[in-house]
Amino acid sequence: MSPVSQSVQETPQTRDGARERPEARTRVAALGDYARAYVALSKPRVIELLLITTIPVMFVAADGVPPLGVAVMTLVFGSMSAASANAINCYLDRDIDQEMRRTRRRPVAMHQVTPRGALVYGLVLAVASTAGFALFVNWLSAALSLAAILFYVFVYTMLLKRRTTQNVVWGGIAGCMPVLIGWAAITERLDWAPLVLFLVVFFWTPPHTWALAMRYREDYAAANVPMLPVVAGEHRVLLECVLYSWATVALSLLLWPVAQTTLFYPLVATVLGALLLVQAHRLLGRVRAGVTGHHLKTMGFFHLSNAYLALLFSAVTIDPLLAGVLG
């Protein structure tokens, strides 16, 4: 076989029989990599966690299944809002992201997206999400969405993160905002029930984040980020995890009288809360027994706390449906 005929046979064909040029395949692959980089810039795993708290609140606010159009628009623009804050965060934190194992593969840190591209992407999403909420949902949800973006960027990322051990405590307010946004999207007002769930997420955030930070303590230290596990001993960190976990569980049970749920919700919240508290106390007991460092296995608590929040808010979703069935 001649080199020419071999070359022709190895060149793939398009649907109409024309030979596909290698340059075209390269461009398609490059566009795919480019798109994946911008998706990663949005931190989709973080967005998933925010949606877990947004959807159930809409069910409670609607006393059942929320209007489909409003719910879809809220999720779409809420995802855009969160992606905006995450992209701007990657732009601002690109220097420390390169220093940490957990974050060094982020698109800006790996130079897959330019800092300017990340900033423009974040700003465009901020404008589009705020306008979308205002036009297709309501003005209160738009204002809350914009407040969440501004708080995450200016208060958490620029002010707190590199200056204080309280960074994730107060910075976590931004992560609590989807609860208020979901309620406002349905009712066009705020009430005590979403405030209780806001506080559940607020007190849940520090122990959840500190468990992860204990695993990556050296990373935060190398990047000069004063996370509590970097500047405090393991006993103090885990003691605070226990205290915050107790507050989380207590507040989760407060939703029962405030939202007048059925017995299903407090039963689920009690079981889940007991599991969370047992694991928190177990970690504290291990450090008191002299176990330190990676032997503490704090990532078990991290994953459990993820499951706790997801299942708790699943119960929040199911309860008004049960109430409707039971009459």
The whole model's pTM is what? 0.89
Q: Which pLDDT belongs to residue 11?
A: 44
| d(C-alpha 46, C-alpha 49), whole Å | 5
Q: Which domain range does residue 249 map to?
A: 191-327
Q: Which pLDDT belongs to residue 1?
A: 44
Nearest CA to 106 out of 119, 124, 93, 117 is that of 93
In a domain, 207, yes or no: yes
The mean pLDDT values, 10 residues at a time, for the chain of 327 residues are 40 49 55 84 88 94 95 96 96 93 90 94 98 98 98 97 95 95 97 97 97 93 94 96 98 97 97 98 94 87 96 96 84
In a domain, 80, yes or no: no
Nearest CA to 214 out of 301, 288, 156, 277 is that of 301
Q: Which pLDDT belongs to residue 291?
A: 85
Nearest CA to 183 out of 74, 321, 314, 257 is that of 74
Q: Which pLDDT belongs to residue 6?
A: 41
Q: Which pLDDT belongs to residue 22?
A: 57
Report how many domains make up the chain. Answer: 1
Q: Which pLDDT belongs to residue 30?
A: 62
Stretch (H or E) spanning 118: helix 115-136
Q: Which pLDDT belongs to residue 327?
A: 65
Q: Which pLDDT belongs to residue 2?
A: 40
Q: Which pLDDT belongs to residue 49?
A: 83
- If you ran DSSP here, which 8-state letter would residue 67 be given? P
| d(C-alpha 311, C-alpha 73), whole Å | 24
Q: Which pLDDT belongs to residue 23?
A: 58
In a domain, 272, yes or no: yes
In a domain, 34, yes or no: no
| d(C-alpha 54, C-alpha 178), whole Å | 5
Q: Which pLDDT belongs to residue 325?
A: 84
Q: Which pLDDT belongs to residue 196?
A: 98
- Here the CATH number for the domain that contains residue 216 is 1.20.120
Nearest CA to 92 out of 185, 162, 28, 173 is that of 162
